[in-house]
Chains A and B, each alone.
Chain A
Amino acid sequence: MEKLHFDLTGQHMPAPFAPVLVGVVGSGNLEVLLEPTAAAGCTLDITTSAHGFAPIWQAVVEDFQARHGLTGVAVSINDMGATPAVVSLRLDQAAAALSMKARA
């Protein structure tokens, strides 16, 4: 297992929300958990079964944050060798649930 951590700045504070969980921990898949946090910005803690892909993770999470610009959100990821395509899809699915809650 490889552990990665990213701290990114953001400007969109979602409305108060209960933790959001999407995906499953299974081969080629991953689990994404979003939780509210008091700290500014967006933190991402990643546990992945695939070693040596830190630069790709960095690019994936930076693009994610460029799309959503979250602040006050902690992201936890359990990855079992998902492709970047699946990671981005899950992150976007989780963030979409957030904004819907924020609107509601």
Chain B
Amino acid sequence: MHNWHSAADNRRARLERAASLGVKKVVTADATTTLLTAVLEPFDRVCIEGNNQKQADFLARCLTQLDPAQVHDLHMVQSVLALPEHLDVFELGIASKLDFSFSGPQGARLAKMVSAGQLQIGAIHTYLELFSRYFVDLTPRVSLVCAQAADAHGNLFTGPNTEDTPAIVEATAFKSGIVIAQVNELMDTLPRVDIPGDWVDFVVLAPKPHAIEPLFTRDPAQISEIQVLMAMLAIKGIYAEYGVQRLNHGIGFDTAAIELLLPTYAESLGLKGKICSHWALNPHPALIPAIEAGWVQSVHSFGSELGMENYIRQRPDVFFTGADGSLRSNRALCQAAGHYACDMFIGSTLQIDLNGHSSTATLDRMTGFGGAPNMGADARGRRHASPAWLKAGEQARRGRSGVSAMPRGQKLVVQTVETFREHMQPAFVDKLDAWQLAEQAHMAIPPVMIYGDDVTHILTEEGIANLLLCRTDEEREQAIRGVAGYTPVGLARDKRLVENLRDRGIITRAEDLGIDKRDATRSLLAARNMRDLVRASGGLYDPPKRFRNW
């Protein structure tokens, strides 16, 4: 007789092992390694909640303290490798296989460990892709998650940084897995319930509050005049041109400059109400002046941002908030929103090749993808129309026959880069470092962040290349060379062809848009420093200490 509930039986056995050691639902910090040893088995798939922002750092540390003779060959399935402990488990022989999305701060060490054979990588995913696999073939057996507070029943309050928690817990709890949550405090009554207690098996009171990073704060004082010029080009040449209302901005000073030019430059062009009303975006402090000037109708967020809590609380018409007043973020749902319901993604990158493929992977750093590929890809499953989407689709399909003649829209995917990065590193290259990285790490395909056939525009200080209008590979290559400035790729342009592309509106320069470069000064920024942002928020924004210089 086949056992159709072996996973549930196994789950019960694990819980009984924990109970026999005296572990109750609410666990003290010093009993945590006992708990982990009791519920983990070799070769388990384990998720440590490591998001962009909050980190289940205490549980991650406890995992490194287990005896590899008892717990070994774990298969880690987690979105972000942010902490040293996330890689320590592989060095210690506790884990051996990894499926992940993003490894920002650990990227260099990860590349080293992979080439030394210290761990095996299943695949590098986008966030949404990894979450999806939690529900197909990478379902965690045990998940170590993170919340602000819990009550005695195990109900969790995440506070504004809900982030990945719902996706992880849902996949684990409903497939006979075990969910352990680290919390900052125990409360009799929670402000709101973000995760129901019967989905949570154990609650650990951490010795200190979980780590959290203000990743999306950009000090306006560091925005350059070139970034102001590029923001003017973006607003007049793309946002206004397509009437982009629903969008996602990548992280960085280029996009912060655009946010800070909405109430000034864009307002002077009469664009208020015509662009930038609905966002899939973390609560960027740089968006405060635009919100205060009445530009923004709604913002849904992947996670929160340190210091923005009170501002968000006082602006519930704009942000998604709970009955308690604080933000409810959700990375999986915001990724879906950015993919299906936004008409534009604009973000920066490190390298772009002659086909428009772009990558943030450079030699000896395995950084992963995060969410950019989901934001920066045409949503092939999209069926609703909007003016911006229809116009981009019309440009891509104009004059084409056969299967391409069917009317259909396209997402605007804009890559914005200065032609040279710091230390005169060219952003345009003949061949992406990703090819060599793929070879070094034995990856099946080069790690490309945004594929060239998804990129619709490349924006540099030299102008805008509209790839939607290119009809041949040669036109595409010259359009890219034509905005690549004085990089070797740019200097190798065919000047006659590039001028022809400019005549046809495939390349647009500042002067073609009537932009006077003398206007590209920092005085155009709605906030010129952190203090201006605080002032714009009416004192509600409370920047982390490291951003306070007054």
The digit string for B303-322, where 1 denotes a CB below 8 A from any CB of A, is: 00000000000000000000
A96 within 8 A of B: yes
Interface stretch among A7-15, A36-44, A69-77, A78-86?
A: A78-86
- Bound: A93/B461 CA distance, A: 14
On chain B, the residues within 8 Å of A89 by CB distance are: 225-226, 229, 461, 517, 520
Q: Is the CB of B520 within 8 A of A85?
A: no
With A89-B226, A89-B229 known to touch, is A84 a contact of B485 (CB < 8 Å)?
yes
Which residues of chain B come closer than 8 Å to A96, judged between CB atoms? 516-518
> Which of B460, B491, B517 interacts with A93 by CB under 8 Å?
B517
B420 pairs with A83, CB closer than 8 A = yes
Give every chain A residue within 8 A of B99 (Cβ-Cβ).
Answer: none
- Residues 491-516 of B at the A interface (beta carbon under 8 Å): 491, 516
Number of interface residues of B (CB under 8 A): 18
Find the A residue at minimum CB distance from B419.
Answer: A85
* Alpha-carbon distance between A93 and B515 when the two chains are bound, in angstroms: 12
Chain B residues lying within 8 Å of A84, measured Cβ to Cβ, are 419-420, 485-486
Q: Is B418 an interface residue (CB 8 A)?
A: yes
Q: Chain B nearest CB: distance from A67 CB in Å?
A: 8
Nearest CB on B from A66, distance (A): 10
- Name the interface residues of B205-226: CB closer than 8 Å to any CB of A: 224-226
**Residue A45 interfacial (CB < 8 Å):** no
Give chain A interface residues in 38-73, CB to chain B under 8 Å: 50, 53, 56, 59-60
Query: A18 to nearest B CB, angstroms?
Result: 17
Instruction: Known A93-B518, A96-B516, A96-B518; judge A86-B486 contact (CB<8 A).
Output: no
Question: A83 and B225 in contact (CB under 8 A), knowing A93-B518, A96-B516?
Answer: no
Partner of A85, one of B485, B491, B516, B518: B485
Q: What 1/0 flags go to B514-530 for Cβ under 8 Å of A?
A: 00111010000000000
Interface residue A92 (Cβ < 8 Å from any Cβ of B): yes
Nearest 7 pairs between A and B by C-beta? A85-B461, A84-B486, A83-B420, A92-B517, A56-B486, A85-B226, A96-B518
The interface of chain B, by Cβ under 8 A from chain A, is 224-226, 229, 418-420, 424, 460-462, 485-486, 491, 516-518, 520
